[in-house]
């Protein structure tokens, strides 16, 4: 037989063996991926958002409940601990006009803001979800969020409040008051319950509160500043939006712009917001959950 033919056959044989070995190796490498993929879930959140701050008399004013929704990814660390990352949008709002306090009604401030939050949260399950089929859980974490308070003027036009510096932010006469950032941090925590619908889908409901590091979610924090100074540096629109007591109607008597230093809000506590609602998640990789996978995670190889 020609030596070239022999070399060619040997080369083809070695190539076939290499492809077979490579295929087997890739298969073994893929097994952990498909196994551990079952620890990952992707899903969505649909619920409501609420606000607590200088424009509310109680911790949460349910009259200003607004919608919220989001996307999430969850990783099961073990049967009881999970980590999730989420991006959530919500709307927060408040107004003095619906408070019962005469002082707040006379102040007549209002606001609305979109909130865009990215968060990393740890969940602790009280039960083995795959054994019980459901479990209550608690969660806590950290988030970063963007916001931008607005309010309607007398003509019904929506006005961004931060550029107006309604409390003298950025004015040389008030050097300790700097423009507030439109990005801040929150610390989500709360509790919920989740239940398995089938091998892939899990449904949950949770209530989550978010204390923040800002007191300007509603554009209200400290005192009124001098009207003429505000007019000179920021214009009439800033004066109009800093004090709305001259616009009250009904039984309340319209007021006049307060003196410099008069209390407008309180910087004793920062603002909060809340996201509460339903989560629906899909387990990647299919199959059963952690509790039913654990026997396959460390396979015993026998000769």
Using one digit for the tens of pLDDT, what is the confidence trace for 57-113?
Answer: 877 778 899 999 999 999 999 999 999 999 999 999 999 998 888 889 999 999 999
pLDDT digits (tens, 9 = 90+) for 211-237: 999 999 999 999 999 999 999 999 999
- Boundaries of domain holding 150: 40-288
Residue 157 lies in a domain: yes
Residue 251 lies in a domain: yes
pLDDT digits (tens, 9 = 90+) for 147-203: 999 999 999 999 999 999 999 999 999 999 999 999 999 999 999 999 999 989 999
Residue with the bigger pLDDT between 281 and 21: it is 281
| 28 vs 279: CA distance, rounded Å | 34
| 94 vs 49: CA distance, rounded Å | 12
Number of independent structural domains in the chain:
1
What's the longest Cα–Cα distance across the chain? Answer: 113
Residue 126 predicted with pLDDT over 90: yes
- Report, as an integer, the average pLDDT of 24-37: 44
CB 81 within 8 A of CB 97: no
At residue 38, the pLDDT reads: 67
At residue 37, the pLDDT reads: 55
CB 75 within 8 A of CB 84: yes
Residue 294 lies in a domain: no
| 159 vs 174: CA distance, rounded Å | 23
Q: Residue 257 has what DSSP assignment?
A: P
pTM of this prediction?
A: 0.82
At residue 12, the pLDDT reads: 52
Q: Report the share of the chain in percent with pLDDT over 70.
A: 82
273-215-222-250 Cα dihedral, nearest 10 degrees: -20
Q: Which residues contact 155 (CB under 8 A, 6 or more apart)?
A: none
Backbone CA torsion sign across 292, 294, 298, 302: negative
CB 225 within 8 A of CB 260: yes
Quick one: which of 194, 90, 195, 192 has its CA closest to 143? 90
At residue 2, the pLDDT reads: 53
At residue 286, the pLDDT reads: 62
| 149 vs 218: CA distance, rounded Å | 6
Residue 11 lies in a domain: no
| 159 vs 241: CA distance, rounded Å | 9
At residue 251, the pLDDT reads: 77
Distances, alpha carbon 250 to alpha carbons 16, 47, 57, 205, 243, in Å: 89, 35, 21, 41, 18
Q: What is the CATH number of the domain that holds 280?
A: 2.40.160.20
pLDDT digits (tens, 9 = 90+) for 263-290: 999 999 999 999 999 999 999 976 555 4
Residue 232 lies in a domain: yes
Residue 238 lies in a domain: yes
Residue 296 lies in a domain: no
Helix (H) or strand (E) holding 212: none
Secondary structure class of 288 (helix, strand, coil): coil
Distances, alpha carbon 170 to alpha carbons 162, 235, 255, 257, 258, in Å: 11, 14, 27, 20, 20
Quick one: which of 111, 100, 4 has its CA closest to 54? 111
Residue 53 lies in a domain: yes
Strand 272-283 with 183-186, pairing: unpaired
Residue 17 predicted with pLDDT over 70: no
At residue 61, the pLDDT reads: 78
């Amino acid at each position: 037989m020609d030596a070239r033919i022999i070399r060619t056959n040997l080369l083809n044989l070695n190539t076939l063996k290499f492809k077979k070995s490579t295929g087997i190796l890739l298969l073994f490498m893929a097994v952990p991926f498909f196994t551990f993929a079952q620890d990952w879930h992707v899903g969505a959140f649909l619920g409501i958002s609420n606000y607590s701050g200088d424009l509310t008399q109680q911790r949460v004013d349910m009259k200003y409940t607004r919608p919220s929704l989001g996307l999430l990814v969850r990783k099961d660390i073990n049967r009881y601990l999970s980590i999730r990352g989420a991006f959530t949008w919500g709307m927060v709002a408040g107004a003095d006009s619906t408070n019962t306090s005469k002082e707040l009604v006379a102040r007549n401030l209002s606001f609305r803001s979109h909130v865009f939050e990215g968060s990393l949260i740890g969940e602790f399950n009280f039960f083995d979800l795959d054994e019980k089929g459901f479990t209550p859980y608690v969660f806590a974490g950290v988030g970063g969020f963007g916001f931008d308070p607005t309010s309607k003027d007398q003509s019904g036009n929506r006005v961004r409040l931060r550029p107006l510096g309604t409390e003298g932010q950025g004015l040389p006469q008030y050097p300790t008051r700097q423009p507030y950032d439109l990005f801040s941090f929150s610390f989500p925590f709360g509790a919920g319950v989740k239940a398995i619908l089938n091998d892939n889908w899990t449904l949950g409901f949770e209530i989550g509160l978010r204390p923040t590091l800002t007191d300007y979610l509603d554009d209200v924090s400290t005192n009124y500043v001098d009207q003429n100074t505000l007019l000179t540096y920021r214009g009439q629109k800033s004066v109009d939006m800093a004090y709305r007591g001259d616009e009250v109607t009904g039984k309340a008597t319209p007021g006049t712009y307060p003196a410099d230093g008069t209390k407008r809000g309180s910087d004793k506590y920062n603002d909060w917001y809340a996201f509460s609602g339903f989560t629906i998640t899909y387990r990647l990789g299919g199959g059963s959950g952690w509790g039913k996978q654990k026997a396959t995670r460390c396979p015993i190889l026998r000769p």
